[in-house]
Structure 1
Amino acid sequence: MEIRTDSLNGAGRAPHQSFADLALEPGEALHVLHPQQIVAFRGESPQREDKLMNLKGMYRKKKLIRSRLTGPASMLLALPAGYTLQTLTLRESEDLLFEFRHLLFYTEGVEMKSVMLSFKNMIATKDVMRLKFSGEGSIGIMCAGPLREWKLDPEVASYIDTRSLIAYPHNAKIDLSVYGNHLASQHMHYQWKMTGSGSALLQAGRPDAQLEQFVGQDSLMKRLLREIVPFGGVWFK
């Protein structure tokens, strides 16, 4: 399977719109978990077969559909604004639990099953189950920025922004928390307090519209000079 990703940032195009081109060789197959992201497909009609996903309770009783696409074929997949596609090759001892919304596809030879969370983790994450993969092959992950591993420790807690967590080890202990002194805890997003062995997967470039606006603003001094100095709007652009 050949994958090419790009961004539509040229003149006259909307920023932060990404896509992925995938090409399947004869005998190859791909399972797309978000079929609505398939923008274009080149192949014969019977090469696409949609099925209901066999998840416990259909994952919160939603009728989730996956598409099985076989080669030779090529397709164009759209990604959410600000997101990129990262491929992860599975390891023999893979024990990560993924959230469905971040998964775009997995290759033939990979097995997917739903894992019911422990009661404590259900309370912390407000989620009933997560997805676990096994076998040989790759999975495609939609994430904001680079995908990074964060090693967990059985004793020393890691605090991870809830918006950045992509996957975590099955054995991890999770609590919803904040950290730092009173001022810090009052001005931060909720964190997952995690301990355990193995590594969590994090998206390290989460879009932040407020930060982009703040960074793009002029300095206070420049704004004052524009107001005070005659023709300041001309001289201090």
Structure 2
Amino acid sequence: MIVCIPNVLPPETLGKLRSLLARCHFGDGAATAGWHARGVKDNEQADPLDPLTREAGEIAAAALETNEVFRAAALPRRIRPFLFARYAPGRTYGTHVDDALMGGGAPSDPRGEAPLRGDIAVTIFLSDPASYDGGELVIETSAGEMAVRLGAGEAVAYPAGTLHRVAPVTRGKRLVAVTWAQSLVRDPAAREILFDLDTARRDVFAREGKSRAFDLLAKSRAALLRRWAET
């Protein structure tokens, strides 16, 4: 399931995040890539140990964790600290799959976070799309490739186990915030069913209030969540 999420970062929050990142030190992004992706990762990344990067990450995490659409789609148990990546003209990130397990004190994890199962990848777009060309996030699906290029402050959440890439930037700079979530529900098909049920019950509640139909949908979703959740 690929979900585009609007308004993750309101304008004031987005402006503060950009201001912090403008003062951060950016280094070679390949330093945090797995061994299999290091050769195709060509971007810059904010120093994760820089206090400004940490502050920016906390702001992004607070916004994402309180977003209702993200919470319904991902059912997050844990979220990795954010990475901030910058792509100048000619820079790209070739086809790769994200690590299944992240953290655990590996060299690519200088903060020493406990291991996390990467179920869901999230990209928050921070640059105005009119300010750069190229840089689409291209996700391979069973129906073909899906290219995602969203407005500033918007996000896309997608299965971390998919093959994906970032197309070369041809003008301007692409700035994004990236993280991964471990879900309470491991099976992506089960997460999609729960998300659809949550969307349906919210639609029914908006039309009818707390009706019999709403109660049955809520009951069914709760029963499936109890069956599938890993706490």
What is the TM-score of this pair, normalised by structure 1? 0.27
Higher relative contact order (CA 8 A, sep 6+): 2
Which of 1 and 2 has greater Rg? Answer: 1
